[in-house]
Chains A and B, each alone.
Chain A
């Protein structure tokens, strides 16, 4: 796939749409006051393992978002493209690494796209850069580049589909059977959500959609239908579930699969016109270097393997969430929890912790169902209470978690002193076993 050449138009269209959407997302995030609420107000942040140095920057966090928004705009118009792409990737990824409680799969996807864009010449066509410096212009580019992005999209869908092949999703229509009745007041179609069979139809269609849509988009004959399905499917999820920008990101990224011949034919773009109809250039400069190919290959091997890392752990994935993130597991669980921490010291002092004193509602909600976050929080409590005069504080949690409609039960062994447990990627033996089985991926 690396040998062939292709039109740069799809990448250019994608670049513009993606950049504008990113800019819009940043504006949306800012205007909703979420920067303040999520990154400035909280007193404590849940770092990602290995990225503990990534912290919010106080009031400068606004600057970080500004850099991200400006970079997105520059990428969109194709001005100082490479620098802007680097800026976009770094600022956006930094933002996403600041607090685990805001982790969303589509943010991760966005980060990965930004990373690839640094190495992809998406500015050689229909861009300010190409207009200002005609030497950059090309009207053919190696297919390697758009294909890489398409491959990433395909991975996302196929893995999201594979993750749905499990007994809860397919045999019990969970969690949709819980979520859909909550929308039974939707005009026209709402009453349907009271019927369990509708949840089954949604579950099966969703699974088949995820598994097949990349191939249907890739195939020229099915493409228009597939894109219509993309718009309908994601439009519907946007209507029914509070999933923010995700549907729009997918609707925009799928544009990449079209060849956009008419854009090239119409000659409507300034860069194209400036070089005349007869110019046909494939700048050798854009042929991916050996190092680039190796890097991309390693990147995709990593992408293929990462979602399967949960095989290294024994417990039920949905319960322990060991290896759950960065694996395109989307909308699979209705999980709710309650975690009450008790701090004890070696002189018999004891204190039940009021979580609202240390965490925001969002952080508390996320922490209550995820063991790794409980451990991080326990360590934070240990340090806080040591300052408050607790000698050698021990931290215990009384947790209660319900997964996909099962009755709640303790997620963490209440007798384990979490203050003494080291944080690592090793299996967490202090998680209470999930005494039920969810079969499948």
Chain B
């Protein structure tokens, strides 16, 4: 009886070791694009970096540079034309930004890029103070985050008066016009500096670091990427864009003034829809350059065979279906989000509710299937 057990145990151990050190000519699953599954994380990271993250950053760079040109032109000569052009460039850049905010990994995470680009609602009193203070006002402390970036620009070019003329006088005849122009230039410069730092780190070597760190522990790419991705969807899309303004998270106390792009009200829904679509496309590994899907979180989950054990439905299908429902809710909202929060509140709250279902799937079902800890802590388990 003992001998049998011993033999069995030893045989199993031997078998295991033989396998682990033995031949490698077995039928290794080959990675394939699209819906086919693959557990090759390196291929996934490479596709995400080369076909989504880097080209998206490159797009932002181009569009942001264009905005900076228009900002400089406006600063040099504030006029109805230069204002209109600056606004148009600003809106385009703001939309493009929604496609990169979700990459909260590596340089963007280290330099907390989001904080210098998109913390809203803008602190208008703080902005006015900074204008008076001039260049000695710090733009690098946490309290300064809502005084810069796209929301601050929104205030400065859309929110200073009820007519374009009124806004223009702030930059021409007002006593602090020079200081206001200086502040405007300062914050576009600040955005440029931070973005350039992040982008040049990605192109200057981080791409390889990113692709080669294939472990799933808290310090490595996949884990950080997934954590940042889920956090972005939960906190910055579900809560920031929809949940908080709608009052869904605060006892129904609406806060329409907390919508993104508050001074250019008809832009807020476009921003939210763009951000939502970027999340879906990223999940599916859709190339920014070709529109083709490649190795992604979806193919990785498929490779792992993640499915609802009860129905046999693939987890990725369940997630994509829920994402489609959230997107449909969001797309059904009309006009501007500010008004929708006030007059069509239940539809906005419903959008939040559907997004909340997606959050759970991403945060619990997806991460548990991948064996990634969501609130990562450097600690033992058993």
Listed in ascending order, the chain A residues whose CB lies under 8 Å from chain B are 32, 34, 38, 102, 104-106, 178-179, 181-185, 188-189, 191-192, 194, 196, 198, 201-202, 204-205, 208-209, 212, 215-216, 219, 222, 225, 229, 232-233, 241-246, 330-331, 334-338, 348-352, 360-362, 364-365, 400-402, 405-408, 436
Chain A neighbourhood of B373, CB < 8 A? 365
- Which of chain B's residues has its CB closest to A198's CB? B19
Can you name 4 extra interface pairs (CB under 8 A) apart from A106-B382, A201-B15, A407-B309?
A104-B381, A178-B368, A407-B310, A408-B364
Is the beta-carbon distance between A215 and B2 smaller than 8 angstroms? Answer: yes
- B361-382 contacts to A, CB under 8 A, are 361, 363-365, 367-382
Given contacts A243-B381, A362-B377, contact A182 B371 (CB under 8 A): yes
Given contacts A205-B9, A229-B13, contact A361 B217 (CB under 8 A): no
Listed in ascending order, the chain B residues whose CB lies under 8 Å from chain A are 2, 5-6, 8-10, 12-13, 15-17, 19-21, 24, 28-29, 39, 41-42, 214-217, 249-252, 303-306, 308-310, 315, 318, 359-361, 363-365, 367-382
Is the beta-carbon distance between A209 and B368 smaller than 8 angstroms? Answer: no
How many angstroms between the C-alpha atoms of A38 and B380 in the bound complex? Answer: 12
Chain A neighbourhood of B214, CB < 8 A? 185
Q: Which of B42, B359, B368, B381 contacts A336 (CB 8 A)?
A: B368
Nearest CB of A to B378, in Å? 7
Chain A neighbourhood of B318, CB < 8 A? 407
Is the beta-carbon distance between B13 and A205 smaller than 8 angstroms? Answer: yes
Q: Which of A205, A335, A348 contacts B12 (CB 8 A)?
A: A205
Q: Which of A208, A222, A365 contacts B8 (CB 8 A)?
A: A208
Is the beta-carbon distance between A242 and B381 smaller than 8 angstroms? Answer: yes
- 29 inter-chain pairs at a CB distance below 8 angstroms, sorted by A residue, are A104-B382, A106-B382, A178-B304, A181-B39, A181-B371, A182-B370, A183-B216, A184-B41, A189-B21, A198-B19, A202-B16, A205-B9, A212-B5, A212-B6, A215-B2, A222-B2, A229-B9, A243-B380, A245-B380, A331-B382, A336-B368, A338-B360, A350-B251, A350-B252, A352-B250, A405-B368, A406-B308, A407-B315, A408-B368
Is the beta-carbon distance between B380 and A244 smaller than 8 angstroms? Answer: yes
Chain B neighbourhood of A246, CB < 8 A? 380, 382
How many angstroms between the C-alpha atoms of A191 and B24 in the bound complex? Answer: 9
How many angstroms between the C-alpha atoms of A176 and B276 in the bound complex? Answer: 34
Is the beta-carbon distance between A365 and B365 smaller than 8 angstroms? Answer: no
Chain A neighbourhood of B377, CB < 8 A? 360-362, 365
Is the beta-carbon distance between B304 and A191 smaller than 8 angstroms? Answer: no
- Which of chain B's residues has its CB closest to A408's CB? B364
Is the beta-carbon distance between B2 and A406 smaller than 8 angstroms? Answer: no
Q: Which of B361, B368, B378 contacts A334 (CB 8 A)?
A: B368
Chain B neighbourhood of A194, CB < 8 A? 28-29, 39, 303
- Which of chain B's residues has its CB closest to A246's CB? B382
Chain B neighbourhood of A182, CB < 8 A? 216, 370-372
Given contacts A350-B251, A400-B360, contact A232 B368 (CB under 8 A): no
Is the beta-carbon distance between A208 and B380 smaller than 8 angstroms? Answer: no
Q: Which of B28, B39, B305, B368 contacts A402 (CB 8 A)?
A: B368
Chain A neighbourhood of B5, CB < 8 A? 208, 212, 215-216
Is the beta-carbon distance between B6 and A222 smaller than 8 angstroms? Answer: yes
Is the beta-carbon distance between B364 and A402 smaller than 8 angstroms? Answer: yes
Chain B neighbourhood of A198, CB < 8 A? 19
Nearest CB of B to A363, in Å? 9
Chain B neighbourhood of A337, CB < 8 A? 364
How many angstroms between the C-alpha atoms of A262 and B324 in the bound complex? Answer: 71
Chain B neighbourhood of A401, CB < 8 A? 364
How many angstroms between the C-alpha atoms of A178 and B365 in the bound complex? Answer: 12
How many angstroms between the C-alpha atoms of A121 and B216 in the bound complex? Answer: 45
Top 10 A-B pairs, shortest CB-CB distance: A244-B380, A350-B251, A361-B375, A336-B368, A182-B371, A189-B20, A185-B214, A205-B12, A362-B377, A182-B216
Nearest CB of A to B354, in Å? 15
Chain A neighbourhood of B370, CB < 8 A? 182
Q: Which of A202, A233, A244, A408 contacts B365 (CB 8 A)?
A: A408
Is the beta-carbon distance between A338 and B12 smaller than 8 angstroms? Answer: no
How many angstroms between the C-alpha atoms of A245 and B365 in the bound complex? Answer: 29
Given contacts A34-B379, A246-B382, contact A338 B9 (CB under 8 A): no
Is the beta-carbon distance between B363 and A338 smaller than 8 angstroms? Answer: yes
Is the beta-carbon distance between B368 and A105 smaller than 8 angstroms? Answer: no
Nearest CB of B to A201, in Å? 6
Chain B neighbourhood of A219, CB < 8 A? 2
Chain B neighbourhood of A179, CB < 8 A? 371
Nearest CB of B to A337, in Å? 6
How many angstroms between the C-alpha atoms of A370 and B39 in the bound complex? Answer: 30
Nearest CB of B to A92, in Å? 15
Nearest CB of A to B147, in Å? 24
Chain B neighbourhood of A192, CB < 8 A? 19-20
Nearest CB of B to A242, in Å? 6
Chain B neighbourhood of A184, CB < 8 A? 39, 41
Q: Which of A178, A330, A334, A336 contacts B382 (CB 8 A)?
A: A330
Is the beta-carbon distance between A205 and B308 smaller than 8 angstroms? Answer: no
